[in-house]
Structure 1
């Protein structure tokens, strides 16, 4: 693991060692020379201080080529650090922006899934409510038909009972009229029998017996008609009881209709809720499409940034190659100068 706190002296020693070895003293090369220790920012700061120290100390004892080599080395290190810093900044900004867009996209997808689930549940509830309403309407139609048939039957029975009652009343009136006629005839017979008692005693007795039989038959017929009347009255009472039951059933049906009204209102509210959820799902889908378009734009921008980064790397490599060529030329020039000096010293007289 790399340690922090690399000193200026260590950086300077590593730099000089790389220069003597004929290698470019870049930030990464110095860090490797130091054993992969120290941060790049610290190494870059020490390199700037070394450059300032060398610039403020005047012309050194070494040759001009060494000074130019140090300047070029510092320039290359600064360019490399600035390029790396710009690359890190762009990369961090891009990663943060992509992460935010991914979070927004996931959130929109979650909302869309939630909206679809809620719409499906509401659709299931709506189907159940519709099926229940259809069953209730079918039951209500059946009850109405049964109620209508029952009312028609009761009305028919009531008309029959009323007709029988009228017929019984007519028969009773006829019997009462016959009984009155019989009493009148008996009175007339009694008056006549007073005059003809002796002569028509037997005939009077026969007629009296005959009339008594007629009266007994009339009384029996009256009793039978009264029995029929009581039966008709009982049937009428039964019909009234059935009518009362039918009215109670009608009241129950009306009560069921009143109870079904809130269910119909709840069904209307559920329909409105489903429409609202559908609108929310449409909005979520539109947001999802917008985020997809934004993601495409960011991907295009990411590609552009990658191309810019590649161009920056290419530029840095070309600059590094240029620096290396300059260093090679300076090194060659230095070698030529040293060879010239040696030849001059060798040619000079002892």
Structure 2
């Protein structure tokens, strides 16, 4: 099929012009006469057809008049020009349809690329959301581990507080026993001193009576007095030792009271630390609840993005499928 603007009638006119000048109508000469347009293959085919037509006309019967031959040639040329014009119009229509189809195809490709870009952005955003969700899950796990550790520490602290309460009760019991023992010792020492005093008074009275009655036994009684003095010295030493023991017990009691005060302060500090741990545990539980709400929100967002991604892929597939050309189907 010849290119647009080149037809058999134009080639025939250029050939006749060259023949009128007495030159050989070669392919290059005809192409120059046509203004250096047209395909050499097409020009060669038209020249061949024209030469065959000339040979046919020469072989026709001599009875056929030149006028009829010219009429037939003119009609053939007119029909050829009309056919060529129709072909040109069909070609231009086909070119316009092809350009429209190519434009629609480019638009579809552009929209497909846009959807691919959006799909890529949505995929990246989905991956980012999944990473954030994974990080929040890890943070929640860490918070749960920290909460479990704090709960265990709280239980351990309560156990230690119970042990300390038991130790404090034991110390209080020991302190009470020490006080009871000290009071018993004081009462026993008082009774012993009273008994010794009464005994001493009785002995003095007895000695005075014996001194008045038994002056002749003065030497013997002096020996008894010496022995009594020794006993008194021993008793005095024992009383001093008892006073030292009493001071030691009082010092020990004071130390126990100081230790008890220290343990009471420690107990107050432990209760304050326990209160702080409870507040920290409540805070962590609130944080875990917030993370659960954030995770639910992220899950809904991920589901929405997945649905939008499926819709975008469906539209992309619809746009990527080539449209059906009704004109081409009718032509076929």
TM-score (norm 1): 0.62
1:278 and 2:295 equivalent? Answer: yes
Distance 1:248 1:257 in 2: 14
Q: Does the 8 Å CA contact 2:9/2:80 hold for their aligned counterparts?
A: no
Aligned residue in 2 for 1:76: 91
Q: State the Cα distance separating 1:298 from its structure 2 match.
A: 1.6
Tell me how far apart the structure 2 counterparts of residues 284 and 67 of structure 1 sit (CA, whole Å). 67
User: What is the aligned partner in structure 1 of residue 103 from structure 2?
Assistant: 88
Q: Residues 14 and 296 (structure 1 numbering): CA distance in 2 closer, same or farther, change over 3 Å?
A: closer
Matched, 1:316 2:312: no
Change (3 A) 1:251 1:19: farther
In structure 2, what is the Cα distance between the partners aligned to 1:284 and 1:103?
17
- Matched position secondary structure for 1:17: coil
Query: Matched residues in 2 for 1:83 and 1:246: separation?
Result: 98
- Is 1:108–1:287's contact at 8 Å kept on the other side of the alignment? no
> Counterpart of 1:123?
140
What residue in structure 2 maps to residue 54 of structure 1? none
Preserved CA contact (<8 Å) 1:150 1:246: no
CA distance in 2, matches of 1:33, 1:246: 116
1:19-49 residue CA offsets vs partner (Å, 9 max, x unmatched):
6799xxxxxxxxx979xxxxxxxxxxxxxxx
2:49 alignment partner in structure 1: none
1:15 — aligned with what?
4
Q: Give the Cα separation in 2 of the matches to 1:186 and 1:33.
A: 169
Alpha-carbon distance in structure 2 between the residues aligned to 1:194 and 1:120: 107
Q: 2:232 aligns with which of 215, 219, 225?
A: 215
Pairing partner for 1:268 from 262, 282, 285: 285
TM-score by length of 2: 0.65
1:95-244 matches, cutoff 5 A: 95-97=110-112, 98-99=115-116, 101-185=118-202, 188-189=205-206, 192=209, 195-196=212-213, 198=215, 201=218, 205=222, 208-244=225-261
1:216 positional shift:
2.9
Larger radius of gyration: 2
Q: By how many angstroms is 1:125 displaced?
A: 2.3
Name the residue aligned to 2:73. Answer: none
Aligned-residue Cα RMSD (Å) equals 3.6
Query: What residue in structure 1 maps to residue 50 of structure 2?
Result: none
Output the CA distance in 2 between the equivalents of 1:153 and 1:21.
131
Gaps of 5+ in 2: 12-36, 40-76
Give how far 1:160 is off.
2.6
For residues 321-332 of structure 1, what are the structure 2 equivalents within 5 Å? Answer: none
Conserved? CA contact 2:168–2:260, under 8 Å: yes
Q: How many residues of Structure 1 are paired with residues of Structure 2 in the alignment?
A: 267
Cα offset, 1:290, TM superposition: 0.8
Q: 1:180 to 1:20 in 2, by over 3 A?
A: farther
Indicate the SS of the match to 1:15. Answer: coil
Aligned 8 A contact 1:171 1:225 in 2: no
Partners of 1:126 and 1:271 within 8 A in 2: yes
CA offset digits 1:209-231 (Å, max 9, x no partner): 45434433432332232222122
> Which position in structure 2 is the counterpart of 1:10?
none
